[in-house]
Amino acid sequence: MSTLAAADPEDGQLVGAALAGRPEAFGTLVERYERAVYHLCLRTMREPEEARDCAQEAFFKAFRSLHTFKPGAKFSTWIFSIAYHACCDRLGRRRRFADEELPDGADPSPGPERIAEINDEARALRAAVDALPEKYQTVITLYHLQGRQYEEIARVLDLPMGTVKTHLFRAKELLRKALTPQ
Amino acid sequence: MNNDFDDLDRALFALPLAEPPPGLRQSILNATVYAPAPAIAAPVQLWEIVAAGTAVAIGVWLIFALVVYKGFAASFDADVVATLRAVLNPSALIWLGAGSAVTAWLTLFGPSGLRLPVRGARS
């Protein structure tokens, strides 16, 4: 019986099927992770067009190097890592070739006054996350996507787990401070 | 460490993910799953391309020499021996090694690394 016959095949099974000559299995993985990968790219790049390019590049690279995916590894960690590094490459190039950190169309981080004005809790939290320093923002975004799996977050970012935990703790402290009414 | 952040965690996990732009999935699928199969199905190694290019270049040169230079076939053996002698002397080998090392270094670490044509693959 085909491994894809299961109603909800695991990611590893889909990778295996794609490698075995059924590329449509990769389509299911795209369907599963498109939104999360785009979200990560958008939070990292802060520019929808660049995020779109990075997400597409990530899936393209993943498809081309599917044979390097280690059996037993988490596909989410793998694709997030590819996407994050694609973003870093572009950010590096952007910073090298442009004399600015963010493009003109970038989503500007709101200041504390703006955050205080926002009544809706989710929007306020989103604004507070946007206002975080970049390194904390990425960790918080991955925490949002991966849950409390610190080891997976550390793998995506190529950081020691202790550093991830520290960044996360500081990020949460900053968020709480930003969201606490003065 | 995280016990104090339960409410914040709940709010964070409840945040909706950004909505991808329409057409993103299709453009990804067009560039991957539905992309036309490459002419060479198996992944091609760099050394295979170099070897094939070298073989073709030598073949073209041989045909050209046979057609253009009369008596080339007769003197081919002597030419091969003379060429091998010229190439296999120490100074030629040093220069060949230096050239190869620079080429390899520029290919691997040069400023214009190979980039995938992702933008062009958009639907």
Question: Is A86 found in the same domain as A17?
Answer: yes
Q: What is the ipTM for the molecules in this complex?
A: 0.77
Tens-place pLDDT, residues A144-175: 888 888 999 999 999 999 999 999 999 999 99
Q: How confident is the model at residue A114 (pLDDT cuts 50, 70, 90)?
A: low
Tens-place pLDDT, residues B25-50: 999 999 998 987 766 556 677 888 88
Indicate whether A165 belongs to any domain. yes
Q: Which of B12, B13, B33 sits opposite A24 (nearest CB)?
A: B33
> Is residue A133 pLDDT above 60, yes or no?
yes
Question: Is A128 found in the same domain as A59?
Answer: no
Indicate whether A176 belongs to any domain. yes
Question: Is A152 found in the same domain as A89?
Answer: no
User: CA-to-CA distance for A78 and A83, rounded, in angstroms?
Assistant: 9
Other C-beta atoms closer than 10 Å to the C-beta of B56 total 10
Question: Model pTM greater than 0.90?
Answer: no
Q: Which of B5, B29, B116 sits opposite A172 (nearest CB)?
A: B5
Question: Is A121 found in the same domain as A51?
Answer: no
> Is residue B83 pLDDT above 50, yes or no?
yes
Instruction: Count how many pairs of residues, chain A against chain B, have C-beta atoms within 8 Å.
Output: 94
Nearest CA to CA, how far is B50 from chain A (Å)? 21
Domain count across chain A: 2
Of residues A180 and A120, the one with the higher pLDDT is A180
Residues spanned by the domain of A66: 9-101
The pLDDT of residue B123 is 37
The pLDDT of residue A115 is 53
Tens-place pLDDT, residues A3-13: 455 578 999 99
The pLDDT of residue A2 is 44
